[in-house]
Structure 1
Amino acid sequence: MRTIITMMIILSMTCVVEVSGQSKIRRKRTWIIDSFSIEEENPGPYPYVLGTINVEREYLVFFFITGRGIDKDPENVLSINSRTGEVLVHKKVDYEAYKNLSFTFEARNNLFAVDTKLGVEIKILDINDNAPVFNSSLYETTLDESAPQGILVTTVAASDLDDPNTPNGTFKFTIASVTPKTDNVEFYIQQNNNTGSIYFKGCLDYEKAPKYTLLIKATDNGNKVQQSSTSTVVLNIIDKNNNLPRITNHTGPARIKERETGVEVLRLQVSDKDSIGSPAWKAKFILHGDPENYFKIQTDPKTNEGILTVVKIVDYEDKMSRNLSINVENEVPNFSCRVKTRTSRGLWDVETDPKEFNVPYNVTINIEDVNDPPEFVTPIKEIWIAENTKIGTLLETFSVIDPDKKFESKFQFNKTEDKNNWVTVNQETGQVFVNKVMDRERLNDGAYRVIVHAVSKDRTQTGTGTLLIHLKDVNDNVPLLVNNTVEMCESHKNTNIAANDADQMPNSGPFQWVLEDDQTEGKWKIVPISGITARLDKQDTVHEGIYEIRIKISDNQGHGSVQTLSVKVRDCTKEHMGYFTVQLSFSAIWIVIFALLLLPGALLMTLQFCKKQKNAMILHDDFPGHLIKSNIEMPGTDCEIPLHISQLLMSQSKVKMSNGSSKQLSMLHNGLHGSSATSVENQMFGNFHLRPSIGHPYQKVTNDDMTVSMSKNCTNHIKDFPINTILSNQLNQRLLLLQTSEQEHSDYKPHSYAYEEEPDKIPVEHLDTLSIPETNFNLDILTNLNVRFTSLAAVCRPDLMSPT
Structure 2
Amino acid sequence: MLCFFLLCCLSSATCSEALSRQRRSWIIDSFTIEEEHPGPFPYVLGKVNIERDYRVYFDLYGEGVDEEPRGVLSIHKDSGTIYVHKAVDYEERTMLKLQFEARTTDLSIDTKLGVEITIQDINDNPPHFQKDLYEISVKEEDVQGSHLLTVVASDRDQKGTANSTFHYEIKAVSPNTPDTEFVIEKTGAISFKGCLDHDAADMFTILVEAKDHGEVVKLSSSTTVVIHVQDGNNHLPSISGQTGSGKVKEGEIGFSPLRLHVTDKDTPHTPAWRARFTVHADEGGHFIIETDPDSNDGILKVVKALDFEEGAQRELSISVENELPYFSCQVKGKRSSGLWIVDTIRDSDPGAAQPHSVKVIINVEDTNDPPVFSVAVKEATVEENTPIGTWVEKVTAVDPDSSQARDFVYKVGNDPAGWVTVDPHTGDITTVKTPDRESSHVVNDVYTVLLHAVDKGEPPMTGTATLQIHVTDQNDNTPQPVETYLYVCMSDDPIATNITAFDLDENPFGGPFTFELLGDVRGKWKLNPSYGYTAGLVKEPSVYAGPHTVGVKISDTQGEFGVYNLSVTVCDCSVTGNCRTRRHSATRAASGAIGIVFASLVLLLCKTRCCYLSVVLLYSRRLKLMASGPCPALQLISCGPAIDFKLKWVSFF
- Give the TM-score taking structure 1 as reference length: 0.63
Extract structure 1 runs of 4+ deviating beyond 6 A.
405-409, 576-583, 589-600, 602-608
By relative contact order (CA 8 Å, sep 6+), the higher-ranking structure is 2
2:576 corresponding residue in structure 1: 575
5 Å matches for 1:253-652?
253-331=245-323, 333-334=325-326, 339=331, 341-348=333-340, 350=342, 351-354=344-347, 355-370=352-367, 373-378=370-375, 380-404=377-401, 410-442=407-439, 443-457=442-456, 460-475=459-474, 476-487=476-487, 498-516=500-518, 519=521, 523-527=525-529, 533-536=533-536, 538=538, 541=541, 545-575=546-576, 601=611
Is contact 2:237–2:356 with CA below 8 Å preserved after alignment? no
Deviation readout 1:533-583 (Å, 9 max, x if unpaired) = 425254563675445444444444443423344444544442379899989
Structure 1 residues 572, 37: closer, same or farther in 2, change over 3 A?
A: farther
1:710 corresponding residue in structure 2: none
1:60 corresponding residue in structure 2: 55
Q: Which amino acid aligns with 2:485?
A: T
Q: Which amino acid aligns with 2:503?
A: D
Is contact 1:211–1:235 with CA below 8 Å preserved after alignment? yes
Q: Provide structure 2 residue ranges, at least 5 long, that are not aligned to the other structure.
A: 1-16, 615-626, 631-639, 641-653
Cα distance between partner residues in 1 of 2:294 and 2:435: 61
Cα distance between partner residues in 1 of 2:75 and 2:526: 140
- Give the TM-score taking structure 2 as reference length: 0.77
Q: Which amino acid aligns with 1:129?
A: D
Q: 1:109 aligned to 2:104?
A: yes
Please state how far the C-alpha of 1:347 moved relative to its aligned partner: 4.4
Deviation readout 1:455-507 (Å, 9 max, x if unpaired) = 44566332424241322322233333333334466689655554433334443
Deviation readout 1:349-381 (Å, 9 max, x if unpaired) = 553543121143211122344555545455553
Q: Which amino acid aligns with 1:170?
A: T
Structure 1 residues 459, 75: closer, same or farther in 2, change over 3 A?
A: closer
Cα distance between partner residues in 2 of 1:296 and 1:603: 85
Deviation readout 1:566-623 (Å, 9 max, x if unpaired) = 444544442379899989x969x98996997999857999999xxxxxxxxxxxx9xx
Is contact 2:326–2:346 with CA below 8 Å preserved after alignment? no
Cα distance between partner residues in 2 of 1:427 and 1:54: 142
Is contact 1:80–1:88 with CA below 8 Å preserved after alignment? yes
Please state how far the C-alpha of 1:239 moved relative to its aligned partner: 4.7
Please state how far the C-alpha of 1:454 moved relative to its aligned partner: 3.6
Aligned length: 583
Cα distance between partner residues in 2 of 1:234 and 1:210: 11
Match of 2:215 among 216, 223, 227: 223
Q: 1:161 aligned to 2:162?
A: no
Is contact 1:372–1:461 with CA below 8 Å preserved after alignment? no
2:74 corresponding residue in structure 1: 79
RMSD after superposition: 4.2
Is contact 2:370–2:463 with CA below 8 Å preserved after alignment? no
Please state how far the C-alpha of 1:39 moved relative to its aligned partner: 0.5
Structure 1 residues 156, 544: closer, same or farther in 2, change over 3 A?
A: farther
Is contact 1:175–1:217 with CA below 8 Å preserved after alignment? yes
Structure 1 residues 143, 414: closer, same or farther in 2, change over 3 A?
A: same
Please state how far the C-alpha of 1:81 moved relative to its aligned partner: 1.7
Please state how far the C-alpha of 1:418 moved relative to its aligned partner: 2.3
1:50 corresponding residue in structure 2: 45
- Name which of structure 1's ranges 315-324 and 80-89 shifts more when overlaid on structure 2: 315-324
Please state how far the C-alpha of 1:266 moved relative to its aligned partner: 0.8
Please state how far the C-alpha of 1:104 moved relative to its aligned partner: 1.1
Cα distance between partner residues in 1 of 2:201 and 2:324: 21
Please state how far the C-alpha of 1:32 moved relative to its aligned partner: 0.5
1:768 corresponding residue in structure 2: none
The DSSP-based 3-state class of the residue aligned with 2:116 is: strand
The DSSP-based 3-state class of the residue aligned with 1:327 is: strand
Cα distance between partner residues in 1 of 2:528 and 2:189: 101
Please state how far the C-alpha of 1:186 moved relative to its aligned partner: 3.9
Q: Which amino acid aligns with 1:431?
A: D
Q: Which amino acid aligns with 2:484?
A: N
Cα distance between partner residues in 2 of 1:257 and 1:607: 86
Structure 1 residues 551, 304: closer, same or farther in 2, change over 3 A?
A: farther
Q: Which amino acid aligns with 1:299?
A: T
1:128 corresponding residue in structure 2: 123
Please state how far the C-alpha of 1:448 moved relative to its aligned partner: 3.4
The DSSP-based 3-state class of the residue aligned with 2:48 is: strand
Cα distance between partner residues in 1 of 2:35 and 2:477: 122
1:785 corresponding residue in structure 2: none
Is contact 1:520–1:549 with CA below 8 Å preserved after alignment? no
5 Å matches for 1:676-715?
none
Cα distance between partner residues in 2 of 1:89 and 1:429: 129
Cα distance between partner residues in 2 of 1:282 and 1:529: 84
Q: Provide structure 1 residue ranges, at least 5 long, that are not aligned to the other structure.
A: 1-21, 609-620, 622-804
The DSSP-based 3-state class of the residue aligned with 1:169 is: coil
Is contact 2:381–2:472 with CA below 8 Å preserved after alignment? no
Identity fraction in percent: 42
Cα distance between partner residues in 2 of 1:47 and 1:34: 19
2:7 corresponding residue in structure 1: none
Structure 1 residues 313, 245: closer, same or farther in 2, change over 3 A?
A: same
Structure 1 residues 548, 288: closer, same or farther in 2, change over 3 A?
A: farther
The DSSP-based 3-state class of the residue aligned with 2:575 is: helix
Deviation readout 1:398-448 (Å, 9 max, x if unpaired) = 445454468999433333332322222333444332111122333124333
Match of 2:27 among 11, 28, 32: 32
Please state how far the C-alpha of 1:31 moved relative to its aligned partner: 0.7
Structure 1 residues 177, 565: closer, same or farther in 2, change over 3 A?
A: farther
Cα distance between partner residues in 1 of 2:399 and 2:371: 5
